[in-house]
């Protein structure tokens, strides 16, 4: 029987010799766009059994989590369930990871609460627009843009989000009312109103948290099933069910110490277009005004959704030895959000915790998501009346235990040991995210970009003092680096007494631009006027091509450093190559003319 790893992670055929029309219609190209075609022909009964178990486990996890995440998003509880099923069906056809489950997550819910003003219409429209942006990025193959958001920025954001989300649930654990959602005000009012704690709720939340250990992605595949601990995977559902039963028992006696979830809209969501305008007490808000109100959320939400989902997919693909296509993942999550907006979903992404449950349950293909989606639909149709009695403290415990693993306290020590400068974007992002998420991400990304640009503008250079002075740049030379290179050369050669010759070892330089070519021309002129030589070693073909194209004259270069040192030491028998098409060595002429 074929392995699901091979079916979902097989290498892409090259097809380089095929015509473009043939490639577009080839089975391999079709499988890349519809990954289901890669594994469905080999589907077996044994896979069906494992997928059904995994889908059931994830379904029992996502239902209470969806209700809890709707609270984080500041939306009615049914919107969490509306957001929990569409990704299961879309990913069945388009997903390239067997483990990933798409749906509401703590971080995405937090972002929704920031940018949608607690209005469901804004949340649904944000899902539609985010999906359109993600689809466009997928079709244009712009997934590489996510690479510019560095790991320290992501860690800073997720750590700040963990604290924000976790502290935001303290009010529900303690039964406090009237606590604002802005983080600093939330901290102030929580401690100010601590005397109003409902102590029974606070005591009840302790066993809830103890019954909900965080999921670990390091657990072996199938551990949740083969070790006979299937009930562990459904602890969310068990805890919520027991808590609702206790709350209902108090309700019957006429005394209710808990703050309950309350009324949840019954039935399946209607299928309709997302709201492109909304009517309020002050009049009608147009589509343009809604877009302006959401502002930076239209960039932050789709980008963070993609980052979270692709990071989860790549993490589990690496652990379980298969490949995911990042651009195909963009299409899957984008289409999920677009279609989800038709059923009143808010933006979703890949869930780390539920993906861990899926992997630990031994899932074989994305078909497990079908079971999860059906289970969510059944709960919407038949169980919503029972959600009324779920205590908010139980949902708060679920949220806290779900986000706790996202806080990586060890990253600070790791970055201190690896590269201390990376602590700067981490701390900038972490601190500013408590103020405004978009400012934190933007500032952290900007700091990371400045660090990257500094390394480009000031590349490392190795200087060797011997019979001849040798300077070797450690990487490519681009226009911001030319002044640094010029200063490093002049300070050691022409400004010395007497002026010295120098060898510029370009072994590690694989690219230059026109500004660098002009700078090298100026250096050659300076050396010529002082009667000394600037020689070149290790010029690669692209560099020679650039120098020839710019018409730069008088460059002398050697195949080896030893030849350059002999020539500059006035030893007989060694002659440089002069840069001209007639004097370039035969093998390089052939390459240049190719």
In this structure, the strands spanning 461-464 and 469-473 are antiparallel
Report d(CA 32, CA 102) in Å as an integer. Answer: 19
| 349 CB-side CA count, 13 A | 26
- CA angle at 525 for the pair 519 and 530, rounded to the nearest 5°: 130
Three-class secondary structure of residue 14 per DSSP: coil
Instruction: Looking at 86-150, list the stretches that DSSP marks H as alpha helix, in order from N- to C-terminal side.
Output: 86-94, 106-115, 120-139
Report d(CA 246, CA 222) in Å as an integer. Answer: 33
pLDDT at 22: 46
pLDDT at 204: 56
Report d(CA 289, CA 284) in Å as an integer. Answer: 10
Contact 186, 167 (CB under 8 A): yes
pLDDT at 10: 45
pLDDT at 587: 43
Contact 549, 581 (CB under 8 A): no
Instruction: Looking at 458-585, list the stretches that DSSP marks H as alpha helix, in order from N- to C-terminal side.
Output: 482-492, 514-529, 541-549, 561-568
CA dihedral 119, 121, 124, 130 (to 10 degrees): -80
- CA angle at 300 for the pair 294 and 305, rounded to the nearest 5°: 120
Report d(CA 450, CA 446) in Å as an integer. Answer: 6
3-state secondary structure 430-490: HHHCCCCHHHHHHHHHHHHHHHHHHHHHCCCEEEECCCCEEEEECCCCCHHHHHHHHHHHH
- pLDDT, tens digit (0-9, with 9 covering 90-100), for 245-284: 888 888 888 887 777 888 888 899 999 999 999 988 888 9
Residue 73 phi, psi (nearest 5):
-75, 0
Q: Which of 238, 268, 263 is nearest to 385 (CA)?
A: 263
- Domains belonging to the chain, first-starting first, are 45-213+231-262+286-407 (no CATH), 461-592 (3.30.750.24)
Positive or negative, the CA dihedral 250, 255, 261, 266 is positive
Three-class secondary structure of residue 419 per DSSP: coil
Residues 6+ apart with CB under 8 A from 516: 477, 478, 479, 481, 482, 485
What residues in the chain have per-residue pLDDT under 70?
1-25, 199-236, 571-594
Report d(CA 359, CA 356) in Å as an integer. Answer: 5
Model confidence, pTM? 0.75
**DSSP assignments along 142-204, one per residue:** -GGGGGGS-HHHHHHHHHHHHHHHHHHTHHHHHT--S--SSHHHHHHHHHHTGGG--HHHHHH
Q: Which of 314, 365, 308, 354 is nearest to 333 (CA)?
A: 308
pLDDT at 109: 93
- CA angle at 416 for the pair 414 and 422, rounded to the nearest 5°: 95
Which of left, alpha, beta for 15 (phi over 0: left; psi -120 to 50: alpha)?
left
Residue 28 CB: number of other CB atoms within 10 A?
15
Three-class secondary structure of residue 213 per DSSP: coil
């Amino acid at each position: 029987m074929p392995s699901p790893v091979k079916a979902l992670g097989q290498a892409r055929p090259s097809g380089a010799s095929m015509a473009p029309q043939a490639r577009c219609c080839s089975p391999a190209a079709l499988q890349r766009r519809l990954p289901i075609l890669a594994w469905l022909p080999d589907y077996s009964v044994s896979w069906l059994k494992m997928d059904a178990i995994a889908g059931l486990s994830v379904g029992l996890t996502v239902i209470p989590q969806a209700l809890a995440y709707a609270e984080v998003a500041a939306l009615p509880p049914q919107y969490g369930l509306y957001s929990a099923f569409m990704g299961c069906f879309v990913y069945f056809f388009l997903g390239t990871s067997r483990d990933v489950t798409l749906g509401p997550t703590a971080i995405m819910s937090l972002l929704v609460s920031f940018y949608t003003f607690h209005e469901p219409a804004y949340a649904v429209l944000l899902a539609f627009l985010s999906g359109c942006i993600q689809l466009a990025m997928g079709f244009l193959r712009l997934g590489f843009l996510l690479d510019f958001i560095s790991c320290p920025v992501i860690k800073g954001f997720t750590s700040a989000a963990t604290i924000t989300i976790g502290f935001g649930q303290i009010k529900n654990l303690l039964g406090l009312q009237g606590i604002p959602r802005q983080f600093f005000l939330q901290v102030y009012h929580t401690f100010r109103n601590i005397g109003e704690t409902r102590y029974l709720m606070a005591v009840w939340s302790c066993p809830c948290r103890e019954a909900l250990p965080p999921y670990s992605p390091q657990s072996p595949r199938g551990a949740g099933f083969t070790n006979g601990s299937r009930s562990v995977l459904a602890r969310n559902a068990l805890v919520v069910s027991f808590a609702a039963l206790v709350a209902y028992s108090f309700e019957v006696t006429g005394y209710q110490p808990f703050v309950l979830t309350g009324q949840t809209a019954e039935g399946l969501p209607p299928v309709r277009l997302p709201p492109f305008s909304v009517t309020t007490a002050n009049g009608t808000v147009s589509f343009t005004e809604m877009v302006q109100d959401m502002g930076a959320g239209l960039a932050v939400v789709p980008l963070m959704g993609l980052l979270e989902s692709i990071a989860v997919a790549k993490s589990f693909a690496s652990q379980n030895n298969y490949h995911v296509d990042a651009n195909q993942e963009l299409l899957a999550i984008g289409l999920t959000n677009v279609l989800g907006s038709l059923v009143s979903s808010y933006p979703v992404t890949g869930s780390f915790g539920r993906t861990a449950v899926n992997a630990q349950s031994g899932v074989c293909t994305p078909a497990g998501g079908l079971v999860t989606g059906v289970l969510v639909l059944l709960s919407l149709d038949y169980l919503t009346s029972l959600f009324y009695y779920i205590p908010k403290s139980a949902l708060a415990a679920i949220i806290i235990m779900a986000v706790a693993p996202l806080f990586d306290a060890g990253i600070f020590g790791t970055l201190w040991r690896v590269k201390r400068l990376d602590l700067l974007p981490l701390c900038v992002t972490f601190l500013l995210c408590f103020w405004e998420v978009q400012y934190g991400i933007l500032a952290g990304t900007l700091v990371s970009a400045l660090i990257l640009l500094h390394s480009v503008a000031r590349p490392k250079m190795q200087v060797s003092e011997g019979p001849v002075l040798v300077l070797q740049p450690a990487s490519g030379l681009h226009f911001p680096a030319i002044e640094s290179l010029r200063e490093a050369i002049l300070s050691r050669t022409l400004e010395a007494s007497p002026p010295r010759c120098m060898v510029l070892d370009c072994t590690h330089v694989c690219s230059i631009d026109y500004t660098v070519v002009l700078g090298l021309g100026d250096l050659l002129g300076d050396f010529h006027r002082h009667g000394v030589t600037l020689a070149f070693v290790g010029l690669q073909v692209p560099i020679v091509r650039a120098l020839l194209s710019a018409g730069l004259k008088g460059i002398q270069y050697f195949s080896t450093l030893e030849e350059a040192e002999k020539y500059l030491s006035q030893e007989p028998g060694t002659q440089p190559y002069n840069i001209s098409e007639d004097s370039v060595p035969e093998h390089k002429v052939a390459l240049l003319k190719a």
